[in-house]
Structure 1
Amino acid sequence: MIAIVDYDVGNVGSVLNMLRKVGVEARITRDPAELRDSEKLVLPGVGAFDEAVANLRRFELVDLLNELVTEMRKPVLGVCLGAQLMTRSSEEGTCPGFGWLDAHIVRFKAAEGESLRVPHMGWNVVTPTREGIDIFANVPQPMRFYFVHSYHMVADAPDIEVGVTTYGRRFASVLGKDNILAMQYHPEKSHKYGLQIFRNFVERFQSC
């Protein structure tokens, strides 16, 4: 069973529908027993960083998720805000993230003389930065995914960068380390491209 972490911030229905299309049992849950019994986790997210952290604390999920991800090493996929929560901190707020990835979150900024619309919204290309990454297997090329975000991930450890996208400048759109995978875009809104990502997560992904 794949557990979609329910903390009242996220596009959980669309994620559930995608996983069902893959043919796997999936549940939207914050129940500790179900989260412990799950094979893998999805941490979705839409909204503000500090609100998300506050909700995770309110539902007593922070210590539990730390245990499941860092001690039990369950494979986990973070989507958009869920991906950002896997880093250490965000310019959007003052609360700390989980710190599972050596990275931080910054707001898109236009260079001097440059016009850059924020949020970054719409379809864009993701280019892998490593060879042979299972999560990208059989995804149609070029890999196009749907983005909606004003803040983006910055890898402080270069070896955790898995995929990049260009919007004004190059930024890390996929980070990964061991059992942890973070995607800035929304695979659940990305049609055939996102469906294959979820299929790969279910069938192939164990570690980066």
Structure 2
Amino acid sequence: MGRAARPLPSGHDRAGTARLLAGPDPERIDAARVVLGADRLTAHGTSCATDHATAYRLDTGPGWVTRSLEVTTLGDHGARRLELSRDEGGTWAARRWVDGREVDVDLPDLRDALDCDLGLCPLTNTMPVLRGGLLREGGGRSRLTAAWVEVPDLVVRADVQHYGPSVPSPGGGAAVEFGVEGFAATIVVDADGLVVSYPGIAERLRG
């Protein structure tokens, strides 16, 4: 039977874990360093594609709910920067820069959103997987709205997403069904809820 990642005592974190993935479309290499707490995570990472590079920093609060996401991209499109945040009352706010100049941000309706979802970044699938208990036997279905960040332009959109059901893996982790309008995939995660395989998006490199 599959097993869920064991929660840590309050105030204790798993040591920072580095993950390296390769993406096919667009072709790229992603690297992330993640610190997992009992019910939250912090992470920073990079992604290098043929026409742009991305760097980000992510922080969640209790329940794996997004607190802040800071992202920069640089490439053929120019330079972009986004600071996205969610307060304890559930209000989202954002600031965005284009080639060093701050521009107005028109956020969509995110009142029901708990998560950010950074385009082409499998790490941001971890929060819904852990919150939804999808590492456990009998992990069910959930429907949620995410603050999806388009890469490389860093425009924020409301995205309805479906997670589950899931099938736990014998050695820990699970295979999780995921879908949005016009796209579906089975995402394989490890015992910490971190993506190992996301068909069409990224595959973890060995070593």
Fold in common (TM above 0.5): no
TM-score, L = length of structure 1: 0.29
**Structure with the higher helix share, 1 or 2:** 1
